[in-house]
Amino acid sequence: MSRKYNFSAGPAMLPLEVLEQAKAELVDWNDSGTSVMEMSHRGKDYMSIAAEAEANLRDVMNIPDNYKVLFLQGGASSQFSAIPMNLLRGKDTADYINTGAWSKKAIAEANKFCDVNVVASGEDSNFMSIPDTASWDLNSEAAYVHYTPNETIAGVEFHDIPDVGDVPLVADMSSTILSRPIDVSKFALIYAGAQKNIGPAGLTIVIVRDDLIGDCIEGTPAMMDYAIQSKADSMYNTPPTYSWYLAGLVFKWLKGKGGLEGMAAINKRKSDKLYAAIDNSDFYKNPIDLGCRSWMNIPFTLGNSDLDGDFLEQAAEKGLVTLKGHRSVGGMRASIYNAMPEEGVDALISFMAEFEKKYG
Ligand SMILES: *Cc1c(COP(=O)(O)O)cnc(C)c1O
């Protein structure tokens, strides 16, 4: 078997140990005689799998007891609408920070439900930097403030949690959740699609403070109503059972890696060395402001874009795949989530040096 180093932004790599465990118990989980995929979500076996996954997530993220954890479907994108539906709670305006492509999508969806006040935008810098939080024009009457801690496409990340006073803070953590410790109590709601740093696609995690649950707007579909989902322990209908199980294996794997402190040290080392390789060369460039470079998604361009095709082809020959940048940015993008081994980043850096020597 030869596993490739897959730099895809999502669905992304999963830890090999997790895949091996899933394989070992694929057809017969824990002598139950059935696959997890074939279990009733209301049966004792599956209920134990689901509960253990939640307990381990609460443990690794240190989630306070007054927060509910929901295991939903529909991706982060369906939360773009579920959030205004659930959190407006009688108000008609919400604050949004626009730091790039995913912020814009969240804003477009929220616009269907309320007055969106864009309090800060990185548009002037072509989204290569984050507007200084001191300049944000926050509205103390807003129902909530929404931001995107890591913009997956451009590779722009907040390295601190913005202070928004008493207004509930909502974060789309799809591409940064579990990459480092965070203080959950600073947030009203955290959400993330699973396919980047949690597990397989099909699962969406919502962590929401319990006093904000209930009182959603009229017409909210039951599937999107946090009160209904929370009351049903995320089993209002059949949940994405296998993705939930696999996410549970990832949470356990994280504990073995020293939890989020351990992961953060590895992630910082991985991203530091890749940025250093880019910055120390005359051939590769990353345009993002030094203060907000992402740990997880690192776009870079070559000195001559005519060489992009050769770069991708020769990288693939070395087992370094899915490095093509997003169509809106061009060039390359290396997504180096938790499951990307440090050796994968080292292999990419060596290949980049070799390629530069040949063509630079
Ligand atoms: C990938 C991504 C999304 C979209 O996630 P889906 O689960 O595909 O809906 C939203 N926000 C961010 C920051 C992302 O990286």
* Separation in Å, CA 2 to CA 30, 250, 330: 28, 21, 29
Q: Kindly give the number of the ligand 1 atom that is closest to the alpha carbon of 175.
A: 15
pLDDT digits (tens, 9 = 90+) for 39-87: 999 999 999 999 999 999 999 999 999 999 999 999 999 999 999 999 9
Beta carbon of 76 within 6 Å of any ligand 1 atom: yes
pLDDT of residue 261: 98
CA of 29 to the centre of ligand 1 (A): 31
Q: pLDDT-derived band of residue 147, with 50, 70 and 90 as boundaries?
A: very high
Q: For ligand 1, atom 13, which residue shows the shortest CA distance?
A: 174
pLDDT of residue 328: 86
Q: pLDDT-derived band of residue 1, with 50, 70 and 90 as boundaries?
A: low
CA of 173 to the centre of ligand 1 (A): 9
pLDDT of residue 207: 98
pLDDT digits (tens, 9 = 90+) for 272-318: 999 999 999 999 999 999 999 999 999 999 999 999 999 999 999 99
pTM (predicted TM-score): 0.98
Beta carbon of 86 within 6 Å of any ligand 1 atom: no
CA of 104 to the centre of ligand 1 (A): 12
Task: Please provide the average confidence, as pLDDT, over all residues in the chain.
Answer: 97
Q: b or e along 44-65 (b: 16 or more beta carbons within 10 Å of the residue's beta carbon)?
A: eebeebbeebbebbbebbebee
CA of 82 to the centre of ligand 1 (A): 14
CA of 75 to the centre of ligand 1 (A): 7
Beta carbon of 99 within 6 Å of any ligand 1 atom: no
Beta carbon of 193 within 6 Å of any ligand 1 atom: yes
CATH entry, 258-359, from 1.10.1060.10, 2.40.110.10, 3.90.1150.10, 3.40.50.2000: 3.90.1150.10
pLDDT of residue 346: 98
Q: Residue 231, class by beta-carbon neighbours within 10 Å (0-12 exposed, 13-18 middle, 19+ buried)?
A: middle
pLDDT digits (tens, 9 = 90+) for 195-254: 999 999 999 999 999 999 999 999 999 999 999 999 999 999 999 999 999 999 999 999
Q: For ligand 1, atom 3, which residue shows the shortest CA distance?
A: 76
As annotated, the active-site residues are 102, 172, 196
Amino acid identity of residue 177, one-letter, is I
pLDDT of residue 2: 85
User: Residue range 126-142: average pLDDT?
Assistant: 94
Pocket mutation for ligand 1, best pick of 72, 127, 174 (most atoms within 8 Å of C-beta): 174
Q: For ligand 1, atom 5, which residue shows the shortest CA distance?
A: 76
Beta carbon of 75 within 6 Å of any ligand 1 atom: yes
Beta carbon of 174 within 6 Å of any ligand 1 atom: yes
CATH topology of domain 25-256: Aspartate Aminotransferase; domain 2 (3.40.640)
| Per-domain boundaries in the chain | 25-256, 258-359
**Which residues touch 154 (CB under 8 Å, ≥6 apart)?**
100, 101, 127, 128, 288, 299, 329
Distance CA 295, CA 312 (A): 22
CA of 241 to the centre of ligand 1 (A): 20
User: Residue range 324-349: average pLDDT?
Assistant: 96
